[in-house]
Amino acid sequence: MDEDFKTLNSKLSEIGDIGAAIALMYWDQSTYMPEGSAMARGKQLGTLSKMSHEMFVDPSIGQLLKKLADMESSNPYDSFAASIIRVTKREYDKATKVPSELVSRISKHNAEKGQAWTKARPANDFTMVQPYLAKTVDYGRELADCFPGYEHIADPLIDSADYGMKASSIRKLFSELREELVPMVRKITECEPIDDSFFKQAYDKDMQFEFGKMLAKDIGYSFDTGREDMAPHPFTISFSIHDVRITTRIDPNDPRDALFSTVHEAGHGMYEQGVDPAFEGTALAGGTSSGVHESQSRLWENIVGRSKGFWKFYYPKLQKQFSVQLSNVTLDQFYKGVNKVDRSLIRTDADEVTYNLHVMLRFDLELDMLEGKLDTADLADEWKKRFKADMGIEVPNDTDGVLQDIHWYHSMIGGQFQGYTLGNVMASQFYEAALKAHPEIPRQIENGKFDTLHTWLKNMIYQHGSKFTANELVEQVTGKPLTIEPYMKYLKEKYSEIYGIQL
Ligand code: ZN
């Protein structure tokens, strides 16, 4: 193998080790760290992040990449060598375009803003964070200007989460979706509401945790190279292809939170665990974009985990565990209960049908702020106005409105939310392709067997890590570009049956 290529990989592997240490510290911070250690941990994370950034933007990496240009062009696009060089070069160019002075200004600003948000949200006082947000918008523009030639000012921000996606194409996709979803939500919510009161009682926390772990293991998440812990906001994190951890949250008075967040995170985890081990320590290790990542978690959580077939197999087991709570609840009642559509204020509590309306609202507001059409001083009111128009309910306060999600308050404005809905849309398109290849999958799910689907996803998606962009992957796996059709078909069929109406 080329000496330069070897040197590049050994440098990247060292940077990867520091990245793993950062991730491990972050995992600890979000699970077991004593509250009083926050300051010390912040400093440690700052030092390691700076170190890894400096190592990566070092001119020696740029020189190596230059020397390897021939190796990239002489090898096939999807080869190991060409892919590593291409993806590393892309990341390197991005990292070196942004002055480290700007990175550090933004990270300091975000830390202060996050502090302000933790007080503003419970106080229901948007004015406490508004000046910070105004500055965030300015920083977003400054950051975008490091990438001249963009089509839309949000594109460089979207690009860092969903490489290759643009504001214009997402906007088009989202407006098609909104046109279908708004009347769909109206039709469903005009029906008799589903009774899900049986969920609202005490369910033993340990038993919930164990049941979730069994589901994660059964669908294919490996506890040999993973583990599950508790966290206030469930997440998945990877320190290596051989160490991918998931977390969950348990509501002692409603088992849905733990059940579905566990299956969701297991979906993320399986993606990370399924990357080709040869990619360990390179830019190819790890999922390719926030949209594709969400497609993998949502495919397992919603398409599989909220399907009738899945609960045909698991409901008798759950009923046995929680016989006091569920003995009089039929499979059909349970299935409807886990798929209840309800207009609600909080994105993370939303059902499959209304969920995307929450996301699209945020995406549109991000673009309007960056474009200068919407002043942050008017953001809270604009939120209420648009929420009412899309969802049909009044937002009673900012705590459950514009202040509810952490994203804008700990990070940038722009590129924060589109991945969730892209993921929903992709999940259906991927699943449709899986069924075409293996029509037996739904029957297997009814029997608690997930190997065929898991192996297909591994071969078609997981193993490639970041080798292909989201758009390339969608084309390659499904034979067509991203389209809302399979997703709308899925929602219409499922919810027409559940609500006994024609959607
Ligand atoms: Zn997720």
Give the Å distance between the CA of 349 and the centre of ligand 1: 13
Claim to verify: residue 99 and residue 177 sit in the same structural domain: no
Mind giving me the DSSP string for 425-454? HHHHHHHHHHHHH-TTHHHHHHTT--HHHH
Claim to verify: residue 255 and residue 358 sit in the same structural domain: yes
Give the Å distance between the CA of 297 and the centre of ligand 1: 6
Q: What is the mean pLDDT of the chain?
A: 95
Percent of the chain with pLDDT over 70: 100
Give the Å distance between the CA of 47 and the centre of ligand 1: 28
Q: Mark which of 106, 123, 140 sits at the end of a domain.
A: 123
CATH number where 345 lies? 1.10.1370.30
Residue among 294, 292, 297, 290 at smallest CA distance from 415: 290
The pLDDT score that the predictor gives to residue 1 is: 62
Instruction: For residue 61, tell me if it sits in a domain.
Output: yes
Q: What average pLDDT does the segment 408-420 reach?
A: 95
Mind giving me the DSSP string for 298-309? HIIIIIITTSHH
CB 435 within 8 A of CB 442: yes
Cα-Cα end-to-end distance for the chain: 58
Alpha helices (runs of H) in 220-306, residue ranges in sequence order: 256-273, 290-298
With a cut of 90, say whether residue 124 has pLDDT above it: yes
Instruction: For residue 365, tell me if it sits in a domain.
Output: yes
Instruction: For residue 133, tell me if it sits in a domain.
Output: no
Claim to verify: residue 112 and residue 175 sit in the same structural domain: no
With a cut of 90, say whether residue 101 has pLDDT above it: no
Question: Token pair 């985990």 is at which residue?
Answer: 305
Claim to verify: residue 204 and residue 111 sit in the same structural domain: no
Give the Å distance between the CA of 263 and the centre of ligand 1: 10
More confident residue, 39 or 365: 365
Instruction: For residue 129, tell me if it sits in a domain.
Output: no
Q: What are phi and psi of 243, to 5 degrees?
A: -155, 90
Percent of the chain with pLDDT over 90: 90
Neighbours of 81 (CB within 10 A): 17
Instruction: For residue 138, tell me if it sits in a domain.
Output: no
Active site residue 265: yes
Claim to verify: residue 449 and residue 338 sit in the same structural domain: yes
Per-residue confidence at 133, pLDDT binned at 50, 70, 90?
Answer: very high
Claim to verify: residue 209 and residue 277 sit in the same structural domain: yes
The pLDDT score that the predictor gives to residue 349 is: 86
Give the Å distance between the CA of 264 and the centre of ligand 1: 6
Mind giving me the DSSP string for 52-88? HHHHHH-HHHHHHHHHTHHHHHHS-TTSHHHHHHHHH
The pLDDT score that the predictor gives to residue 219 is: 98
Encode pLDDT of 270-295 as tens digits.
Answer: 999 999 999 999 999 999 999 999 99
Bridge partners, residue 243, by sequence: 240
Claim to verify: residue 197 and residue 109 sit in the same structural domain: no
Give the Å distance between the CA of 265 and the centre of ligand 1: 6
Question: Token pair 């990292």 is at which residue?
Answer: 95
Claim to verify: residue 94 and residue 206 sit in the same structural domain: no
With a cut of 90, say whether residue 37 has pLDDT above it: no
Give the Å distance between the CA of 272 and the centre of ligand 1: 13
Claim to verify: residue 221 and residue 362 sit in the same structural domain: yes
Q: What angle do CA 204, 208, 213 make, to 5 degrees?
A: 150
Kind plus residue range of the DSSP H or E element containing 237: strand 236-240
Q: Is 400 helix (H, G, I), strand (E, B) or coil?
A: coil
Claim to verify: residue 20 and residue 94 sit in the same structural domain: yes
Encode pLDDT of 45-95 as tens digits.
Answer: 888 988 999 999 999 999 999 999 999 999 999 999 999 999 999 999 999
Instruction: For residue 33, tell me if it sits in a domain.
Output: yes
CB 427 within 8 A of CB 401: no
Number of domains present in the structure of the chain: 2
Instruction: For residue 143, tell me if it sits in a domain.
Output: no
Q: Mark which of 60, 90, 123 sits at the end of a domain.
A: 123
Domain that holds residue 310: 167-499
Cα separation values, 350 from 95, 185, 257, 343, Å:
36, 12, 11, 8
The residues, ordered by sequence, that sit 6+ positions from 249 with a Cβ below 8 Å of its Cβ are: 230, 231, 232, 233, 234, 257, 258, 261
Neighbours of 84 (CB within 10 A): 25
Give the Å distance between the CA of 268 and the centre of ligand 1: 7
Q: Mark which of 101, 123, 145 sits at the end of a domain.
A: 123
Give the Å distance between the CA of 167 and the centre of ligand 1: 21
With a cut of 90, say whether residue 112 has pLDDT above it: no
With a cut of 90, say whether residue 111 has pLDDT above it: no
Claim to verify: residue 303 and residue 176 sit in the same structural domain: yes
Residue among 350, 345, 408 at smallest CA distance from 126: 408
Give the Å distance between the CA of 298 and the centre of ligand 1: 7
Per-residue confidence at 155, pLDDT binned at 50, 70, 90?
Answer: very high
Q: What average pLDDT does the segment 131-155 reach?
A: 96
Claim to verify: residue 282 and residue 383 sit in the same structural domain: yes
Give the Å distance between the CA of 421 and the centre of ligand 1: 11
Per-residue confidence at 105, pLDDT binned at 50, 70, 90?
Answer: confident
**Structure tokens, 451:** 């190997």
With a cut of 90, say whether residue 108 has pLDDT above it: no
Give the Å distance between the CA of 64 and the centre of ligand 1: 35
Annotated catalytic residue: which of 72, 228, 265, 272?
Answer: 265
Instruction: For residue 278, tell me if it sits in a domain.
Output: yes
The pLDDT score that the predictor gives to residue 213 is: 98
